[in-house]
Amino acid sequence: MFLFRFEWWHTSPSDNRPYACDIVSELRKRKADGSVLELGCGLGDILGKIKCREKYFFDVSDNVLRAAKFLQYFSFKKTLNHYKEFNFIEDTLDKKMSVDVVILVNWIHAYKTSILREKFSDLTKFNLNPGGIVVFDLIENNSNYKYNHRIQELLDTELFDIETFSGYKFGRKIVYATLK
Q: pLDDT averaged over consecutive 10-residue blocks of the chain (180 residues)?
A: 56 73 94 92 90 94 88 74 95 96 95 96 96 94 89 96 93 96
pLDDT at residue number 17: 80
DSSP class per residue in 14-31: GGG-HHHHHHHHHHHHTT
Q: Where are the beta strands (DSSP E) in the chain?
A: 35-39, 54-59, 80-85, 99-104, 128-139, 160-165, 172-179
Q: What is the CATH number of domain 8-179?
A: 3.40.50.150
What pTM value is reported for the model? 0.90
Three-state DSSP class for residue 59: strand
pLDDT at residue number 141: 82
Indicate the residue type of 175: V
With beta carbons less than 8 A apart as the criterion, state whether 147 and 111 touch. yes
Domain boundaries, the chain: 8-179
pLDDT at residue number 13: 61
pLDDT at residue number 45: 87
pLDDT at residue number 83: 95
pLDDT at residue number 6: 53
Write down how long the chain is.
Answer: 180
